[in-house]
């Protein structure tokens, strides 16, 4: 029995990587999924096609969730297609590492506008579609939120903010039966990691050695945890910051 039958889920930044895997796993459990993307229409259409091929339901909706007008359109399209919302996965994000002397206002604003302001404004619109039966909000953070990394002060700060938002909103939205949790991955083998070249060589080998489970994550590892948090099996879990990094510590 699919555990998300009858549920509607929005996954932001779902054209590739972790977001795409989450969208596909939610659909496999019976959810009707809105695959949000900012620029990669082809990627989003590919995710939708894979879901439909396996008998699932999905649509792709463009929207840069650092822009309030795009957020409003995202949920307008969600309401038009499905009439409600049960699950929001705030996955869209951006990262840039820089030493202190290289940090600029633009560097700060770029990350906080999407990782923090965008997440809050997306959640603000999402809860308007969640009915009295409640729902689940899953914020994709990062291991560098609770465990900051060098030359990542801005990114670490933005992801620490995500964890603070999670705890605050879990208390605020709890009376409405809306659960809010953070899921914080460590290194994940995504398209972005492969494009950077860090998926192989000495650095990759070091990460594998330093992870107690012996490897870095695949997108599916994070998607499985997100799918659990989306469903009723996690009905008593809210306000939690869950580090999904194979036991890795910074």
Average pLDDT, the chain: 95
The pLDDT assigned to 29 comes to 98
Cβ atoms < 10 Å from Cβ of 212: 9
In a domain, 142, yes or no: yes
Q: Specify the long-range contacts of residues 149-157, CB closer than 8 Å, at least 24 apart.
A: 149/97, 149/250, 151/97, 151/98, 151/99, 152/95, 152/97, 153/100, 153/103, 154/96, 154/98, 154/103, 154/107, 154/108, 154/111, 154/112, 155/95, 155/96, 155/97, 155/111, 155/115
In a domain, 153, yes or no: yes
In a domain, 186, yes or no: yes
In a domain, 54, yes or no: yes
Catalytic status, residue 82: no
Cα 181–Cα 187–Cα 190 angle in degrees, nearest 5: 100
The pLDDT assigned to 198 comes to 64
Q: Is the pLDDT of residue 98 over 90?
A: yes
In a domain, 107, yes or no: yes
In a domain, 3, yes or no: no
Rounded Cα gap, residues 137 and 135, in angstroms: 7
Question: What does the CA dihedral 63, 65, 66, 68 come to, rounded to 10 degrees?
Answer: 80
In a domain, 190, yes or no: yes
pLDDT per residue over 25-52, tens digit each? 999 999 999 999 999 999 999 999 999 9
List CB contacts of 147: < 8 A, sequence separation 6 or more.
243, 249, 250
The CATH number of whichever domain residue 232 belongs to comes to 3.40.50.720
Given 37, 82, 95, 155, which residue is catalytic? 155
Region 227-247 average pLDDT: 97
Rounded Cα gap, residues 165 and 145, in angstroms: 12
In a domain, 16, yes or no: yes
Instruction: Tell me the C-alpha to C-alpha distance, in Å, between residue 156 and each of 18, 105, 138, 219.
Output: 19, 16, 18, 21
The pLDDT assigned to 249 comes to 76
DSSP-assigned beta bridge partners for residue 37: 62
φ/ψ of 142, rounded to 5, equals -165, 150
What domain count does the chain have? 1
Q: How confident is the model at residue 204 (pLDDT cuts 50, 70, 90)?
A: confident
Structure tokens at 235: 């009905």
Full residue range of the structural domain in which residue 130 is found: 8-244
């Amino acid at each position: 029995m699919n555990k998300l039958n009858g549920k509607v889920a929005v996954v932001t930044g779902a054209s590739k990587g972790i977001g795409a895997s989450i969208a596909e796993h939610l659909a496999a459990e019976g959810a009707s999924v809105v695959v949000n993307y900012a620029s990669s229409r082809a990627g989003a259409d590919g995710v939708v096609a894979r879901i439909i091929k396996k008998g699932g339901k999905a649509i792709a909706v463009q929207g840069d969730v650092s822009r309030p007008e795009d957020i409003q359109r995202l949920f307008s399209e969600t309401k038009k297609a499905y009439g409600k919302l049960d699950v929001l996965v705030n996955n869209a994000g951006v990262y840039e590492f820089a030493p202190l002397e290289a940090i600029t206002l633009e560097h700060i604003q770029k990350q906080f506008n999407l990782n923090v302001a965008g997440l809050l404004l997306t959640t603000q619109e999402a809860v308007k579609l969640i009915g009295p039966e409640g729902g689940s909000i899953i914020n994709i953070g990062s291991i560098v939120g609770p465990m900051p990394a060098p030359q990542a002060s801005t990114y670490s700060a933005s992801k620490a903010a995500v964890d603070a938002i999670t705890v605050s909103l879990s208390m605020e939205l709890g009376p409405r039966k809306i659960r809010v949790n953070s899921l914080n991955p460590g290194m994940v083998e995504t398209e972005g990691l492969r494009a950077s070249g860090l998926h192989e060589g000495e650095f990759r080998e070091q990460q594998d050695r330093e992870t107690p489970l012996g490897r870095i994550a695949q997108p599916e590892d994070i998607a499985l945890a997100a799918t659990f948090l989306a469903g009723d099996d996690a009905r008593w879990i809210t306000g939690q910051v869950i580090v999904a990094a194979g036991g890795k510590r910074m």
